[in-house]
Amino acid sequence: MEDVIFSGTDKRKATGFAEVSIVFDNSDGSIPLDFREVQITRRMYRSLESDFLINGTKCRLKDIRELFLDTGIGKDGYSLISQGQIDRILSNKPDERRQIFEEAAGVSKFKLRKHESELKLKRTKENILRLNDILSELESREKDLKKLLKMQLFI
C-alpha cells in the first residue's frame, strides 16, 4: 500500500501520506447522518497507519462500516450485481445465500450488534468472576488480619 504515497521527484519533495475521499449525495437520507453530502476519507501514512474521517471528523473504520451496513454500499454490498456475481450467488451454499439476503434486507446490522453485545456480555461475566475471586481472597485476608490484630492486643 505504501506505493500509493508520492515518493517525490528531482523537483518535488516526497509526501508523508496519501489521501482519498469519496462524497455521497445524502439528500434522500439513505445514510443515517444529518448531512446532505457525506464525505468518507482515508489518509494513509508511510508508517502504514491510517486515519479515517467522516465529513472531516476522525472516526474508526468500524464506524464507517456500520454507517454503510444495510445500504448495499458496504464491503460485500449488492447495490450493483454483475452477471458473474449472480452465478456465484446461485451456486453458493444456502448459508451464504441467506447472508446475502440478510444484508440486502437490512438484518446484518442487527446481527452484528447482537454478536458484539454477546461478546461484551461474555467479557463482563468473566470480569465478575475475577472480581468475585479477588473479593473472596480479600475477605480471607481480612479475617486473618483481624485475628492477628486481636492477638497483638492481648500481648
Residue 31: predicted pLDDT: 86
Q: What is the pTM of this model?
A: 0.52
At the topology level, CATH places domain 1-74 in Rossmann fold (3.40.50)
For the chain, the structural domain boundaries read 1-74, 81-154
Residue 72 pLDDT exceeds 80: no
Interior CA angle at 153 toward 151 and 155, to 5°?
70
Question: Once rounded to an integer, what is the mean pLDDT over residues 27-52?
Answer: 92
Question: Once rounded to an integer, what is the mean pLDDT over residues 38-63?
Answer: 94
Residue 88: predicted pLDDT: 77
Cα separation, 135 vs 155, whole angstroms? 30
Query: Per residue, what are the HEC states of 28-49?
Result: CCCCCCCCCEEEEEEEEECCCC
Residue 10 pLDDT exceeds 60: yes
Give the model confidence (pLDDT) of 83-138 as tens digits: 677 777 778 888 888 877 777 666 777 888 899 999 999 999 999 999 999 999 99
Of 42, 45, 102, which Cα lies nearest the Cα of 70? 102
Higher pLDDT, 16 or 118: 118
CA dihedral 133, 139, 142, 144 (to 10 degrees): -80
